Amino acid sequence: MRVALLALLLLACKKDEPVVQDPTPEAQPGPLMAGFASQRIPAPVGMGTVGYGPFGAPRSETPFSDLYPGTTDLMLHPEIKVTALSRGAGFEVIFVRVDAVGFFQQLRRAVVLALKDRTGRDLDDALIFGATHTHSGPGRIIDGGGFYDIIADTFFPEFYRLFVDALVDTIAAALDDLAPARIATSAGYSAEAHADRRCEDGAPDYENGAAPFIAIEREGQLQGIVAAYAVHGTALSIDDLTLSQDVFGAMEQSLEDRFDHPVDVMVLNAWAGDMSPHSGEVPYLDGASQPPPFQQIAETGWQFAEDLAPVVTGDLAWEEEPVIAAEVHRARIDREAIGYADGEFPYEYGAVYCEGDSDCDAGTTVDGLDQVCLPFNATFPAPNQTVMSTGRVGDLTLVTFPGEPGTALAEQVMADIQADWPDTTDILFVGYSQDYLGYSILEDDWWQGGYEASGALWGPRQGSYLAEVAVKVQGRFQGADVELDEPDPITPFADPTFSPYQAEEALGLGTVLQQPAASVGPADLVSLRVQGTAPWLGAPVATLLGAGDAPLMRPNGVLWTSDMQPFHWHLDVDPPYADSLDPQPRAFAWTLDFPVRHAVPGVMDLPPGDYRVRIQWGDGSETTSAAFTVAP
C-alpha cells in the first residue's frame, strides 16, 4: 500500500514534459500528370494592335481603338495556350503562352491573385508566362500611361478584365485536364527559320537556332510538345490592320500537322531581340497568291516544322518520374542597382530611344549615346523591379528573361549558368517572359547604337545586369548562398471600373452578299461575304464541309476552322465607324477568303470535290454557303 501511495505521489509531483511531435515530413512528388487547354483572346476585330507606335499609321477608327488604328482583318486568331506539368502541389510547372508583344508583371500578378481566389492555391512559383511577341496581338492592357500608351495604346478596362478572366479560365482548364503522363526532353535545331537582323553586334548573320523541347505522352501516345525558339514574332505591320498570332501560330500549326493524331504544340519565344522570321528553300506548289506577310508567316512555319519534326518524332528517352520544379524571384532594376557612376546614363526614372547614329563596325562606338535618350519621369517611370523564374523539367534547366534579349546575351547567361553548375545540360531559355523591359543586349553591343539599343529601358548596362540576376536566380534554385535584394511582389493594376460595352444590333444577320464561285481551281481563292454579328461578340468561326456535309479535318485529325491559317477575315461596317462611333444598328459584312491550294506545302490543298462553308456567329446562329466545286 505504501509503495503504491509513494508511486502516486511521485507521479503527482513530476513536472509535465513537453510532448515532442514528429517533424512534419516534407512533401514528396507524386505521379506525373499533364494537362492542356487553349482559348481565344477575347479581342474584337477593331481592337488596336501593339508595339509599333501609332505615328504615321493609316487612320481606322473603331470603338475599340484609340491612338492606334483599329484592325479590320483577322488571320490566325490570337489565343492563350496552357500546358501544365504536375507531380503535386509544390512540384509543378505551368507554361502559359500568350499572343502578345510582352507579358507585364502587373498582369502576371493579377492572374496569380485571381487564381488563388478561385482555387485556394498560390501558383506564383509554378506559372511561366511567355509572349510570342506578335505585334498583331491586341493592345490596351497596360494601365501605365505615358510611354506605354505609345507602345500599346490607352488602357481599355473592360478588355483588361476579360483578358485576365480568359487567362485564369484557361489555366484552370489545363489543371482540370491533368492526366497520367510521362515526358522526354531533348533539343532540335533550326538555322533557317530565323535570320540575324542586327549588323551592329559585330557578327553578321550570327544566329543560334537551338530549339530545346519537352515531349509529353499520355495514354501511350505523344500528345504535347513545349519548345522554345528565337524568332522576332512578327511579319505583319501596323499597316496590315490585322489581328494575328503571326509566325508563332504558323510554326505551331505546321508542326502539329506533321502528326496523324492531335498533338498540342506550344512554342515559346527565346532570344529573339535580333532574329527575324526567315525560311530556306521552300518547295513551292502552284497555288493561289498570298499577300507577302501571310506568305512569310507560312514559310517560317513550314521551315520550323521541317527542322523540328524529325527530332520530336525520333528516339527519345522517356521519364515517368522527372524532376518538375520552378521558383519565381524578383529583383530591383534602377540606376543604383545597376551601378551607374555619376553622369552615366543620367536618367533617374529610366529612358529609351537613345537616337544616335548606329555603327556596324564592332571596332568603334557611338560617342555620347547614353546622353541623348528620351527620359521617363516621376509620373510615368520605367519599372524599378522585375521578375525571373528558374527551375527544372526533366533534364532541361528552365531560365526566363523579362523582355527581348539578343542572342549573344542569352548565350552568356546560359554559359555562365553551365560554368557555375557543370551538371547543367540543355537549357530551356524563355524570353519575353514574366515581365517586359524592352530590349537587352550586351554592353559593348549597346554602344554600337541601332534600334535594339534604343529600346533598353535602363540603358547600356541593362542587359549585363539582368544576365547577372538570371545567374543569381539559378544559384538560389541550386541552394547556393546568393545575395539577391528581392522586393515584394508588385501591385497589379487597380481593379478597373467600367460601364459594360453593349454589342450593337446587327442588321441583315445571315444575309449572303457574295456566294463562292461555283467552280474553282488550284490557283484560285475561295471567297464569300456574309452579314454577321457585331465584332464585340467575337469573330465568326467558319468550317469547311465536304461530302455529306462532313467537316474537313486537318492532317492531325483536328477540326479545321477559320481561326487557323490560311483563312483570312475582313470586316466592313455600315454605317462606317469613321462617320460615328456612337452605338447604333449597323450591317457587319464579313468577308472570308482562303486558297484552294497554298503555295507553301502542308498549309492547304483541297482535293477535287464539292464543298460548302458553315459560319457560326457570335450569338450562336449559323449560316451555310452555297456549294462550290474544286475541279480536277
From residue 6, alpha-carbon distances to 10, 14, 15, 16, 613 in Å are 6, 12, 16, 18, 98
- Reply yes or no on whether the pLDDT at 560 is more than 50: yes
Contact 274, 456 (CB under 8 A): no
Percent of the chain with pLDDT over 90: 88
What's the CA gap between 297 and 231, in Å, rounded? 12
- Reply yes or no on whether the pLDDT at 542 is more than 80: yes
Q: Give pLDDT, residue 25.
A: 62
**Nearest CA among 98, 312, 314, 300 for reference residue 224:** 312
Confidence of residue 24 (pLDDT cuts 50, 70, 90): low
User: Would the pTM of this model clear 0.85, i.e. be above it?
Assistant: yes
Q: Give pLDDT, residue 19.
A: 47
Q: Give pLDDT, residue 13.
A: 39
Residue pLDDT, tens place only, 331-377: 999 999 999 999 999 999 999 999 877 888 888 899 999 999 999 99
Q: Give pLDDT, residue 57.
A: 87
- Reply yes or no on whether the pLDDT at 9 is more than 80: no
Kindly give, in sequence order, each residue whose CB lies less than 8 Å from that of residue 119, ignoring residues fewer than 6 positions away. Answer: 172, 175
Average pLDDT over residues 167-180: 98
The dihedral over CA atoms of 162, 165, 171, 176, expressed in degrees to the nearest 10, equals: -120
Cα–Cα–Cα angle for 490, 126, 273, rounded to 5 degrees: 70
From residue 527, alpha-carbon distances to 196, 548, 564, 590 in Å are 37, 21, 16, 11
Residue 403 burial (C-beta neighbours within 10 Å; 0-12, 13-18, 19+): buried
Q: Give pLDDT, residue 6.
A: 35
**Nearest CA among 157, 364, 135 for reference residue 269:** 135
The answer to whether the bond into 551 is cis (omega within 30° of 0) is no
How many residues comprise the chain?
Answer: 632
Residue pLDDT, tens place only, 463-514: 999 999 999 999 999 999 998 989 999 999 988 889 999 999 999 999 999 9
Residue pLDDT, tens place only, 211-222: 999 999 999 999
Residue pLDDT, tens place only, 66-118: 999 999 999 999 999 999 999 999 999 999 999 999 999 999 999 999 999 99
What's the CA gap between 555 and 264, in Å, rounded? 13
Residue pLDDT, tens place only, 321-340: 999 999 999 999 999 999 99
Q: State the chain's maximal CA–CA distance in angstroms.
A: 115
- Reply yes or no on whether the pLDDT at 225 is more than 70: yes
Residue pLDDT, tens place only, 270-315: 999 999 999 999 999 999 989 999 999 999 999 999 999 999 999 9
Q: Name the residue with higher pLDDT: 11 or 487.
A: 487
- Reply yes or no on whether the pLDDT at 12 is more than 50: no
Q: Give pLDDT, residue 363.
A: 83
Q: Give pLDDT, residue 204.
A: 77
Q: Which domains does the chain have, with CATH numbers?
A: 33-278 (no CATH), 512-630 (2.60.40.2300)
Average pLDDT over residues 423-430: 92
Lowest-confidence range among 16-25, 393-402, 507-516, 532-541? 16-25
DSSP-assigned states of every residue in 411-471: HHHHHHHHHHSTT---EEEE-SBSS--BEE--HHHHTT-SHHHHTBTB-TTHHHHHHHHHH
Output the average pLDDT for the chain: 94
**Nearest CA among 464, 444, 446, 443 for reference residue 455:** 446
Q: Give pLDDT, residue 289.
A: 84
